[in-house]
Chains A and B, each alone.
Chain A
């Protein structure tokens, strides 16, 4: 493996090194998340103009759409980490996969709730079983399944491996969520932001949306690093480096 991956990455995956690295970066990530989040909210709720059809009600997209992107992005990270964990048995990859699950579940839940709140006045219903809504609900159940399976085992590393398997297989759902609006005739509208071709949103509405996307990414990393640090201390509680921290020495 060390032939494939550069040496620094190999070093970074050792628990004490990552513990210090994540601890140093976390306050900065949190500050960036708060700053970009505040700018995005001000831009989205105050500066952006009202929509021609929906008036002010469309402003829920500044929460709904970034959350929906994160629900898929975090699943991708979790699936990739699960793959590394299953094949190479890297402890850090197991921890990253397992600590990503609750954050991803939270973003998925926010997506479903905000979508439902918007759907009632705009579409006329809280919920409909169209392909986009159903596949996003399946995504939430996959996250909950990963969390549940992980905690169902006495031995945590064994639990992580079982849950990593579920996470890896569930990754098939990610393209289904993304392309559901193209493959089926859904009530949910198609993609507004397109990587290829022009986006169908005014620039004054686009920049707060993209800023919020950055804010959620920073928040995810900050939250992930905090959770990974806690889990590493727990998993390695017998090791020397943890004992050094616990007894108040200056390793961190």
Chain B
């Protein structure tokens, strides 16, 4: 390799290495800061007490969904492994919202329950036909198919 190309190669590699280190440090710093959500047990232990508005994440407790007959009001309970939080929401819920679904609700605390202004359903990365799911559910009747089946039952 001639000296000009060698010099260019070194300069280019150095610039890329420097940029990688800079971005890497940024990513590392964000990792501590980008707490997208709080779980019900974290909220109950007071981890979210200095946030007026925050995101609550967890699983919809099976059988806890109640819809109002006259309005769009829905109430349900969000649970994690060792906590539960009643949630109130007025609006259209996403298609994937159902029992044992992971959800992320944005809102604030009102006394002991959480008033959500937005409810998002988190989708898992599993894709399969309904027939296959039914067959698998039959095989594991005592164990629900949804992810995190430990939080599916009552806490």
Contacts and interface: CB of A to CB of B under 8 A. Distances in A.
Main secondary structure of the interface of B (DSSP, over half): mixed
B23 A183 contact: no
Given A122-B123, A184-B31, A53 B8 contact: no
Given A86-B12, A176-B27, A124 B123 contact: no
A236 B35 CA distance: 54
Interface stretch (A105-113, A201-209, A215-223): A201-209
B128 interface: yes
- Interface size classification for chain B: 35 or more
Interface in B1-56: 1, 5, 8-9, 12, 15-16, 19-20, 23, 27, 30-31, 34-37
Interface in A185-208: 185-187, 189-192, 200-202, 204-205
B120 interface: yes
Interface stretch (B60-68, B69-77, B79-87, B89-97): B89-97
Contact of A124 (B1, B94, B133): B94
A141 interface: no
B130 A54 contact: no
Interface stretch (A20-28, A125-133, A152-160, A244-252): A125-133
A123 B122 contact: yes
B120 A124 contact: yes
Ranked nearest first, the 4 interchain pairs of A and B with the lowest CB-CB distance are A124-B94, A49-B129, A52-B133, A201-B127
Given A123-B96, A168-B15, 6 more contacts: A183-B27, A185-B37, A187-B120, A191-B125, A192-B127, A200-B125
B132 interface: yes
Interface in A144-165: 165
B127 A51 contact: yes
A187 B118 CA distance: 14
Contact of A202 (B15, B124, B128): B128
A88 B12 CA distance: 11
Contact of B23 (A124, A128, A176): A176
A200 B127 contact: yes
A94 B15 CA distance: 19
Interface string A84-109: 00111000000000000000000000
A121 B95 contact: yes
A178 to B, nearest CB: 13
B59 interface: no
Interface string A12-53: 000000000000000000000000000000000000011111
A99 B145 CA distance: 47
